[in-house]
Amino acid sequence: MALNRRVSHQVKGFNKDNRPDNNQVVYGKIVNEHGIPVASSVMSGNTSDKVWNEKALDFVADVFEKQMPHCIFIADSKLINKNLFQTMMNPQKRIQFISRCPANFSNKLAEEATQKAYDEGNWEDIGVISERKGAAEYKVQEFSEEVFGSTVRLLVYQTSEGIKRFEKKKEKQLHELEKDISEVEKNNLPAKPMLEKNWNVFKRLTRKAFLPILPPW
């Protein structure tokens, strides 16, 4: 079943294979929980994910109208923007969904929720979710927040692999921080204007450090 019969156009879209010399088309597909396709559409090569998600949501809401209270629409973070969010939260035509929250959505909602989770530390251990050997272990915290006038459920996950990556990155940045401190100390400049100049350079070099940095005066 196709979403429409409109002829698609081969254009120089956004080629993920780094072949801008090739034309392309975009193929959108909706599958059920078993991965079986229920609808598809061939679109112009420069069709964005946002446009496809709009088409997919319209299709799902129209075709599965009576079943929608029991359905959950699952998509990646391209699903989440203000317009589509408000469409799915419309009480007259509500669509339940699961997606990843983009970093820039609703005044950095994801960052705020993550910070809150680490501040409170009320992690629930849910173990591994894969049978793969050496699979990561997961912990989760749940919050309810009001977003654009609607209450949503937010889940913040912590993984054992993520912690390992964080510790490795922290060690590297601390090492670089110590080197920069040594360079500043070697200059041994007592004059405050020069010290402030060096301090500004130092802050620029360490702007991605994990630790808060305060001036030495």
Q: pLDDT tens digits for 36-91?
A: 999 898 888 888 889 999 999 999 888 888 888 889 999 999 999 999 999 999 98
pLDDT at 197: 66
Q: What is the model's pTM?
A: 0.71
List the helix and strand counts (H, then E) for the chain. Answer: 5, 7
- From residue 41, give the alpha-carbon distance in Å to each of 4, 52, 177, 212: 7, 9, 52, 50
Query: Is 176 strand, coil or helix?
Result: helix
Check residues 23 and 183 and name the one with the higher pLDDT.
23
User: Where along the chain do its domains lie?
Assistant: 1-100, 163-205
Q: How far apart are CA 113 and CA 141, in angstroms?
A: 9
Mapped onto helix, strand or coil, the DSSP state of residue 29 is strand
Which residue is associated with the tokens 């915290």? 141
